[in-house]
Amino acid sequence: MSKIVILDENTANQIAAGEVIERPASVVKEMVENSIDAGATQITVEIRNGGISYIRVTDNGSGIEKDDLEFAFERHATSKIRRIEDLEDLSTMGFRGEALASIASVSQLEVTSKTEDALTGTTLKMEGGRVISIHQTGSPKGTSFIVRNLFYNTPARYKFLKRDSTEAGYISDIIQRLALANPGISFKFIQNNRTQLHTPGNHDLLSVIYSIFGKDIAKSVLPVSYKSEGFVLEGFIGKPEIARGNRNNQSIFLNGRYIKSKVITKALEDAYKTMLMQNKFPFCVLHLKSPAESYDVNVHPQKLEVRFVNESSVYSAVYHGVKGTLLRETGIREFEPKTSEIEVKNNPPVNIPLMEPRVNRKTRPETSAEFPKQSTLFDRMPEIPVKIEEQDCNVPGEIEKKCYKETHYITENEIIEETKASQEIGTLKETIQTTEKASLQELLNATIVGQVFDTYILLQCGNNLYIIDQHAAHERIRYEYIKQRHANNQNFSQIMLEPVIIKLTANEYDFVMEKQSAFQSIGFEIEAFGSNTVIIRSIPDFYENSFSVSDFNEILDRWIQTGSAQSDISDETLYMISCKGALKANRPLSKEEILGLIENLCALENPYTCVHGRPVILTMEKKEFEKRFKRIL
């Protein structure tokens, strides 16, 4: 057996690099976070070949003192903490002191830095963790890191890198997250000499969303502002129509740090239940603020995952913040919506008792939620060609020094584009704040035009046509009705004239017997009736003559799939019950039935989607008809 030895510093750094620096994106993340901690308001990241051959990170932060520059590349050298107790109040992005040493050990690195008080900057060059040179130089305040030929001396690590475009994608994703986390910082990302992203740094999160995701997304988000039990939740969530088939457009930040949290993700998606189609995930950029003692961010090597002291409080804050916003702000979807128009909002919810029969019309006050105060102008910066000019600096000393300045050549077209972007974001905010062009009150006052295909109800109010899916509308009404009565422990069963006998599998029989009281709470009276057989004597009172054995089997299947571990009935099972008891398509309705349906629908907190997330109401303006018939252009 070989003797135990202490590894030399270079080998130890390269091993640490394998833990801290996985790919070029890891380098960018560590360096940009250092720039943020240094108080930078402008950060530029430039890469070539996916960051493998070249990475440059430049900031206008506080800089590094000349005497500290070389020392900064020692392992566990850090300006963030002095003792273990400091971890409890840590608010900076990084603190371990391993990143710079690890990066330097697997690359050819050059760093130039200058503090505000220093007369000159200092440039340090390293290769494979060894100092090559250090000298004074002319430079502006801040720090510039250049990393060349990453993993050039660690072939085992280098061979695991992916294609240049893939590595560049990882870097782009990190910069976007950091920009969303820090709207007060102007980020610029240059890839192979082309500017890919430029955020304004005007402290306006909506402007950052506009810069990253574009106008169509920016006009379809809703502002969130909520406080609960020491937690503050702010940011934006997407309307249901911009939901995607994955969670890539979900960004969650805790005290400015991008995190992944199962409890927050669950709270977010639970708040969207019945508003989204299956396998669709909402858009969000959410900033959660919390006291440092309420969580631990050091459970994951990259500080992505956190552990909360009180997960139920976190869940509650996110769920109610998002749910409240959706109920206040989501509105009627436009028929073939155009990107130039903003969707409408509904009135704030009112607690009108849900009634299955027709209710009297009630006029509700027209109010609108106040939009959070933000910048009035989107100071989006265009992609500007930059020319670097070298000139002498009048700095005392024997060493030849050069200073550099950026000369920006802005073309007329770029000025036009910048002005256009500013006007668009301004118009967007004004549109969100203005009174909606259509509301639930219009539905209550609308004229019934009739039914088409015995499935869709047509209403007209002023210049707006409303189209209501009668099954989706009644399904939503039924769901809210059942949920409310179930929560209040109300009995709503009706005795069947002819009880139904159903043969089940052994597993199904055991499940039904175990959940017998839960079945009874929603109107089903079920008894054992022999070997693996049950008899149903009562069913929910909203079923008419349509209940069948197949209906019960579908409800049972859904319950087993989605709530077998729960003591109570699962939401998904309530969705199925609501669907089975709702009005069907291809059923003619009288005028009185239509009125009753509309009035019950408008009394709900969320009348806009069925329990499966499909739209209940669509709207189309008169001018859209006129455009289709070429009456107007």
User: What does the pLDDT look like over 398-447, one tens digit per residue?
Assistant: 333 344 344 344 445 555 555 566 666 666 655 545 333 346 888 899 99
Compute the average pLDDT of residues 571-576: 84
Domains, the chain, ordered by start: 9-198 (3.30.565.10)
pLDDT at residue 509 tops 60: yes
pLDDT at 374: 34
Q: What is the per-residue DSSP string for 496-510?
A: EEEEEEEE--HHHHH
Structural contact between residues 575 and 486, judged by C-beta atoms closer than 8 angstroms: no
pLDDT at residue 282 tops 90: yes
| 217 vs 360 pLDDT, higher one | 217
pLDDT at residue 347 tops 80: no
User: Which of 47-56, 229-238, 326-335, 615-624 comes out lowest in average pLDDT?
Assistant: 326-335
Q: What is the largest CA-CA distance in the chain?
A: 106
Percent of the chain residues topping a pLDDT of 70:
74
Compute the average pLDDT of residues 479-486: 88
590: nearest Cα among 472, 451, 490, 414: 451
The pTM score is: 0.66
pLDDT at 44: 97
Residues in the chain: 633
Compute the average pLDDT of residues 227-247: 91
Q: List, in sequence order, every residue forming a beta bridge with 535; answer none if it has no partner.
A: 501, 527
Q: What are 96-123's pLDDT values in tens digits? A: 346 888 899 999 999 999 999 999 999 9
| 576 vs 135 pLDDT, higher one | 135
pLDDT at residue 346 tops 70: no
| 324 vs 378 pLDDT, higher one | 324
Determine how many CB atoms are found less than 10 A away from the CB of residue 394: 6
Strand pairing of 54-59 and 142-148?
antiparallel
The helix (H) or strand (E) run that includes residue 495 is strand 493-503
| 20 vs 539 pLDDT, higher one | 539
pLDDT at residue 574 tops 90: no
| 507 vs 599 pLDDT, higher one | 599
| 592 vs 422 pLDDT, higher one | 592
Q: Indicate the pLDDT class of residue 391, thresholds 50, 70 and 90.
A: low
| 427 vs 367 pLDDT, higher one | 427
Compute the average pLDDT of residues 201-226: 92
- Measured distance CA(345)–CA(333) in Å, rounded: 9
pLDDT at 441: 84
pLDDT at 6: 57
Residues near 373 by beta carbon (within 8 Å), at least 6 away in sequence: none
pLDDT at 381: 33
- The b-or-e profile of 35-66 (16+ CB within 10 A means b, else e) is bbbbebeebbbbbbbbbbebbbbbbbbbbbbb
Structural contact between residues 121 and 138, judged by C-beta atoms closer than 8 angstroms: yes
Compute the average pLDDT of residues 40-65: 96
Structural contact between residues 243 and 280, judged by C-beta atoms closer than 8 angstroms: yes
* φ/ψ bin of 144: left (φ > 0), alpha (ψ from -120 to 50), beta (otherwise): beta
| 174 vs 373 pLDDT, higher one | 174
Q: What are 313-331's pLDDT values in tens digits? A: 999 999 999 999 998 876 6
Q: Which two tokens stand for residue 237?
A: 């969530």
| 407 vs 567 pLDDT, higher one | 567
| Dihedral, CA of residue 625, residue 330, residue 199 and residue 212, to nearest 10 | -70
pLDDT at 278: 79
pLDDT at residue 261 tops 50: yes
Mean per-residue pLDDT over the chain, rounded:
79
Q: Indicate the pLDDT class of residue 178, thresholds 50, 70 and 90.
A: very high
What ranges make up the beta strands (E) of 101-249? 108-114, 121-127, 130-137, 142-148, 186-191, 194-198, 221-228, 231-238
**Amino acid found at 160:** F
